Structure 1
Amino acid sequence: MPGVDTSNSEKARSFVIDDKEKGIFLLDREALVSEEVLRAEVSNIFSKCWIYVGHGSELKKNGDFQTRKVAGRPVIFVRDAKGEVRCFFNTCRHRGAMVCTERQGNLRRFNCVYHGWIYNNDGKLARVPGDEAYMDSFDTTGLGLKSPARFEQYRDFWFMCLDADVESLADYLGKATDYIDLVIDQSPSGKMEVLHGTQEYDVQANWKLMVENSVDDYHLPTTHSTWLNFMANSGVVVEPPKDKDLVLPTRGFAFDLGNGHFTTDNVNFRGRPVAAWIPLYGENAKPEMTAIREELVTRLGADRARRVADTNRNLVIFPNLVINDGSSVTIRTFYPDGPAKMHVTAWALGPVEESEEARARRLDAFLTFYGPGGFATPDDVEALELVQQGLANWSDDRWSEMSRGMGREGEQLNSDEHHLRTFWRHWNKMIAGAQS
């Protein structure tokens, strides 16, 4: 890059060149291909940050459980016999085998198939076969299933952290809680639930590219032109922007929420099951959606009701949780399986009071836009995989240019790269400690 020192000196290892006065922001593409960087991420990010585990509604009854990988760790997310939500490492204390191989279900106990050690759903060791072979001093009280160092929730969104000294979840989330509250406010009772069914797919690309893509409105008119044409042909008014230099059909903003969290905040145009009707929903949906809006106004007031129903948001909780609050509410996580591969998991979220018809509209939006076979996700996956393929040239073409919008005063547009820079600055700060 002309006029820029891109030597990336090892005396102060950094993966970004960030010069606000000159309007320069460059990302070293080694961050997207390196095994060494991935090891640093595991130790300094995924082992230090709060990582999303699951939603409390996935555990409706005592004994309900879900097994999944969280930050690469196999865990059991379970509601115990007394109704307490818990998280355990899915690892037998005897020889390390997984003690639960089912994806979900309802159990009083978890039975290790290797040597038969049995654990209650509160994690306590219940039985050791052939315990007479052990010495009298053998103490089983300390041999229950291990738990992450910290496990906390905000409004039924449960997170774990492997670092006992981390700040509280509430402090970590900070301003991001305002945007989680906008999701919860869609429910008259303040209770949302994860809907039946999970989307899972692999992407042959670095996990951080999914962070960028989840909030990058700059790519909308090029990558998702098929979807935009479909919406327009379905009677949805997609008005062009008034700003000559803005290439998007909506005007929205991007906000830094601290701790690496950020969000887009858009004027809605594509309909929302909560209370924003579009022709795709059909005339029969109008009365119910009118009633939903009236309930929102009565309960929240006109301004808050408009905020809930007439704007949509893509919220990123650092490092790897995205809550898409748009045409449906989608919870999405992703974790690296190597520098050039990630595993993505997504769930739909909706109010517990929702009617069958409203739920059907929500699920249709979840599948047709965000689903791995929908309008958006296949386009995004192809784009991200093309990026990763292009990065094979990283050592000869080292820097990604990410300065769009740096000179803009005041609120930052969602078509700029302000929010992407927010992520990379925080990521770089955390990785620098591992590299130094």
Structure 2
Amino acid sequence: MTPSTDSRNTSAKEWVVEDVAAGTFRIDRTTLIDEAVFEREMASVFGRCWLYVGHESEIPKPGDFKARDVGNRPLIFWHGHDGAKRVLYNSCRHRGALVCRIPEGNARGMSCFYHAWTYNSTGALNGVPGDEGYGEHFDRAAMGLLSPPKVDNYRGFYFVCFDPGAVGLKTYLAGAADYIDLVADQADDLEVVPGAHEYSMDANWKLFVENSLDGYHLLPLHKTYFTYLEEREGNTLDRDDTTEALDLGNGHAVICVHGPWARPVARWTPALGEHNRPQVEAKYQELVERYGSERAQMIGLTDRNLLVFPNLIINDIMGVVIRTITPTAAGHTKIHQWSLATAGEDPDLRARRLDSYIAFQGPAGLATPDDLEACEACQAGLRTAPDVTWSDISRGMHREHAGQPSMASDELQMRAFWRRWQSLLD
């Protein structure tokens, strides 16, 4: 099959081709390099799906705010002085300028620098210089900052949807909600650690999604990290350890691995320090008492990478890392990430948690640069798309369609993503 020369009008059925009998699942590489495809995605995927904005702990006090781009739309995540947490469009109702031009802070109100229209922390317009120039019919109450059509949160994770006809958040999350629960149940009081990592890659956003769910690349690509881990603690990752990949519905997916690294919530290794061992083991016992041994093991001892389609990755491995994906062009993507931890955590345990996170997942760590290089190498190789048309995502199809469990090194999780992507673009 030859890809269409006009991707604006091409059916996505031509781009994602699954042949169960042959055991093949192929992706037309046009979908990863074409700007017209990117424009369709921004309307059909990012314009219709629920997108992650932030965690409630990031704006704990009235007036606290974060300014963020979500789906390439500028938003303000703001804790109003009336007690409500809101998501507002970061755009003055007068001429459209950004109202908030700093990434975070605390404010009772914000004033647009252009003409000084001023809004309070609920988004209401409460100041217009020279408002007599608008006459008696000017309705200030109707000119406050607007909110996206749908805003909701699940277990403290806030999402927005720009499609007023979309299903509710809980319905949308489908099976992914269960895995968010496994994060939220780690402690009664979780908080995003102050500070964030922000970086970008010269590659398509879907390559980053694939990489985030790909258990097949761990040993060959991250050899340096696992050598370091083995030399430091004597721990190794065995590809044949119990692993699992699951399609959670609506494009969401997860891989579960029993890894060799420490988990401050419940799994002690020497990296956490001998003096921290009692409190880590006590935490695990607390989980057992609260949830039972089977669920405690899922919460505390199983490592997971979760995709909430399309823009949220939760890496729950040596700690919890929240990553958001913001596509800016067919060949460019921005990534933001934060660490989520137990509030009031022992300072030494917190430091060791962050050290482990930065060593593996930080943008200058031993793994993330590998991942970004791999994605950018793929993007460079995709320049051959006119001649080398297809990418293969067939690994494990024989297990999937035989009803057998899929392993994390399979590609069921990527197929779940691409099937949902295809359905939205058509």
Once the two structures are superposed, residues 117-174 of structure 1 have per-residue CA deviations (whole angstroms, 9 ceiling, x without a partner) of 0011101100110012221122211100011010000011000011111000000001
Pair 239,69 (structure 1): closer, same or farther in 2 beyond 3 Å: closer
Alignment correspondent of 2:335? 344
CA shift at 1:292, angstroms? 1.4
Pair 13,254 (structure 1): closer, same or farther in 2 beyond 3 Å: closer
* 2:217 paired with 1:219: yes
User: Aligned partners of 1:239, 1:331: CA distance in 2, in Å?
Assistant: 23
* 2:177 paired with 1:177: yes
CA shift at 1:269, angstroms? 2.4
Alignment correspondent of 1:301? 292
User: Aligned partners of 2:193, 2:72: CA distance in 1, in Å?
Assistant: 24
The letter for the 2-side match of 1:88 is: L
Alignment correspondent of 1:420? 414
Contact 1:192 1:351 (C-alpha < 8 Å) held by counterparts: yes
Alignment correspondent of 1:287? 278
The letter for the 1-side match of 2:361 is: Y
User: Aligned partners of 1:396, 1:129: CA distance in 2, in Å?
Assistant: 61
TM-score (norm 1): 0.93
The letter for the 2-side match of 1:7 is: T
Once the two structures are superposed, residues 153-203 of structure 1 have per-residue CA deviations (whole angstroms, 9 ceiling, x without a partner) of 00110000111110000000011111011111110x2x3110011000010
Alignment correspondent of 2:196? 198
CA shift at 1:8, angstroms? 4.9
CA shift at 1:341, angstroms? 0.5
SS at match of 2:256: strand
Which structure 2 residues correspond to residues 87-236 of structure 1 after superposition, within 5 A?
A: 87-187=87-187, 189=188, 191-236=189-234
CA shift at 1:254, angstroms? 0.3
* 2:361 paired with 1:367: no
Count of aligned pairs:
418
Q: Give the root-mean-square deviation of aligned CA atoms.
A: 1.3
Alignment correspondent of 1:323? 314
* 2:18 paired with 1:23: no
CA shift at 1:391, angstroms? 0.7
CA shift at 1:40, angstroms? 0.4
Pair 11,50 (structure 1): closer, same or farther in 2 beyond 3 Å: closer
User: Aligned partners of 1:157, 1:352: CA distance in 2, in Å?
Assistant: 16
CA shift at 1:357, angstroms? 2.1
Contact 2:3 2:30 (C-alpha < 8 Å) held by counterparts: no
Alignment correspondent of 2:424? 430
Pair 70,231 (structure 1): closer, same or farther in 2 beyond 3 Å: same
SS at match of 2:159: strand
Contact 1:405 1:417 (C-alpha < 8 Å) held by counterparts: yes
Q: Which among 343, 349, 356 is matched to residue 358 of structure 1?
A: 349
* 2:394 paired with 1:403: yes
User: Aligned partners of 1:224, 1:305: CA distance in 2, in Å?
Assistant: 29
SS at match of 1:158: strand
Contact 2:237 2:259 (C-alpha < 8 Å) held by counterparts: no
Pair 337,11 (structure 1): closer, same or farther in 2 beyond 3 Å: closer
Once the two structures are superposed, residues 311-352 of structure 1 have per-residue CA deviations (whole angstroms, 9 ceiling, x without a partner) of 111000001100001011000011111110000000000122
Identical-pair percentage: 44
Pair 197,239 (structure 1): closer, same or farther in 2 beyond 3 Å: closer
Alignment correspondent of 1:335? 326
**Structure 2 residue runs without a partner (length 5+):** none
CA shift at 1:103, angstroms? 1.1
User: Aligned partners of 1:167, 1:153: CA distance in 2, in Å?
Assistant: 14
Structure 1 stretches of 4+ moved >4 Å: 8-13
Pair 41,13 (structure 1): closer, same or farther in 2 beyond 3 Å: closer
Once the two structures are superposed, residues 58-82 of structure 1 have per-residue CA deviations (whole angstroms, 9 ceiling, x without a partner) of 0010010000101101111000001
Pair 239,88 (structure 1): closer, same or farther in 2 beyond 3 Å: closer
TM-score (norm 2): 0.96
Alignment correspondent of 1:55? 55
SS at match of 1:67: strand
Contact 1:236 1:278 (C-alpha < 8 Å) held by counterparts: no
User: Aligned partners of 2:301, 2:31: CA distance in 1, in Å?
Assistant: 37
User: Aligned partners of 2:226, 2:387: CA distance in 1, in Å?
Assistant: 36
SS at match of 2:425: helix
Pair 393,59 (structure 1): closer, same or farther in 2 beyond 3 Å: same
Pair 60,239 (structure 1): closer, same or farther in 2 beyond 3 Å: closer
Contact 2:65 2:79 (C-alpha < 8 Å) held by counterparts: yes
Pair 57,134 (structure 1): closer, same or farther in 2 beyond 3 Å: same
Contact 2:272 2:349 (C-alpha < 8 Å) held by counterparts: no
Alignment correspondent of 1:313? 304
The letter for the 1-side match of 2:425 is: I
**Structure 1 residue runs without a partner (length 5+):** 1-5, 241-247
Contact 2:12 2:422 (C-alpha < 8 Å) held by counterparts: no
The letter for the 2-side match of 1:423 is: F
CA shift at 1:297, angstroms? 1.7
Q: Which among 2, 8, 18 is matched to residue 7 of structure 1?
A: 2
Contact 1:236 1:270 (C-alpha < 8 Å) held by counterparts: no
